[in-house]
Amino acid sequence: MTVSKPFSFSVLQTDGRARHGLVRTARGDIRTPAFMPVGTAATVKALYADQVREAGADIILGNTYHLMLRPGAERVAALGGLHEFMRWPRPILTDSGGFQVMSLAKLRKLSEEGVAFQSHIDGSRHMLTPERSIAVQGLLGSDIQMVFDECTPWPCEEDAAEVSMDLSLRWAERSKAAFAAQAGLGRALFGIVQGSVYPRLREVSARGLVDMGFEGYAVGGLAVGEGQERMLATLDATVPMLPQDRPRYLMGVGTPEDIVLSVLRGIDMFDCVMPTRSGRHGQAFTRFGRINLRNARHAEDPRPLDPESACPAASQYSRAYLHHLFRCGEYLGPMLLSWANVWYYQDLMAGLRAAIAEGRLEAHCAALREAWARGDRVD
């Protein structure tokens, strides 16, 4: 077995509770705070891998549930692993499949062993356990893997959330035992803190995971409908219980504002489908805030989305042309806006990293919020 260089994390600078750091993996470094574009089915939708990298992304996310069903983890492994399969040589994080299984409420049966479910593709029956989830992630060859958990839905009463959280802790222990088979490959396993919006449960979950010992810790079960106020309160209660020398990952978040507010609370890593999903539906994220290119007011607007952006999609195509593409249903419209949005998110993270490093994060975040609120006043 070839031994790869070990996974590590270091905090380079802090500003309040916010951290600028560096995650080192066998396939490259990840600058934090980091946003991971989502590559659900071995592709960041509507983009070439080269475009994702040129936008500034150090890492992307792959989806265990979808890839195990199609094309199959064993097939991906036989073809050289997920990095080779999708032409992305840099780090990849894979989720565990827990979130997708939660969304299959009518097609699944939960037990101590794991989750029996029917494929949403063809109705075939499958069993996903902590051991199988880790095995699939190992076959995919991801650099950062996640324990198998039950993503507690919202709304959820405290008693039900406690049962779910306890099950996730037991599954985390089994996930860690299964991950031992990948020792020496330079990969990392992250625990996932659950407990819904209840501080007592979050504390029990965090302490249990820290006692087990993981290379990083995620906060899961948020951005599922609880609202920003509850999400931030849960972060305030949870993040202080996580080790200072490990990366902290907020799963499934989110909007630029949510990311900024979470960075201020000490979160290091994020993922969300929002940049590409919004791009496919005609919505652009810019330093002026959101712009809906389907709106008729853009039909004769010769300006680009942002003339100062380094992204060609944002600086070289007129709003009128982008509006035309969406009105006509042309594929190029979603491609260009997805590109512009992924680039904007990476610019957002780069700005946050620089502000932390220079000790001016509070002023930087205030300027971001002011610009979003002001919008593009020349419209």
- In degrees and rounded to multiples of 5, residue 315 shows phi and psi of -110, -15
Is 99 labeled as ligand-binding?
yes
- Residue 149 assigned to a binding site: yes
Strand partners, 116: 109, 127
Query: Is 80 marked as a binding-site residue?
Result: no
- Summary count for the chain: helices (H), strands (E): 15, 16
**316 known ligand binder:** no
Residue 221 known to bind ligand: yes
Spell out where 16-159 has E strands.
18-25, 28-32, 34-39, 60-62, 92-94, 108-110, 115-118, 125-128, 144-146
- Hey, which bits of the chain come out as E strands? 8-15, 18-25, 28-32, 34-39, 60-62, 92-94, 108-110, 115-118, 125-128, 144-146, 188-193, 216-219, 248-250, 269-272, 283-286, 289-292
- Residue pair 253/222 in contact by the 8 Å Cβ criterion: yes
Distance linking the first and last C-alpha atoms of the chain:
60
As annotated, the active-site residues are: 95, 271
> Is 98 annotated for ligand binding?
yes
CB atoms within 10 A of CB 318: 15
Binding-site residues for substrate sit at 95-99, 149, 194, 221
Residues annotated in a binding site = 95-99, 149, 194, 221
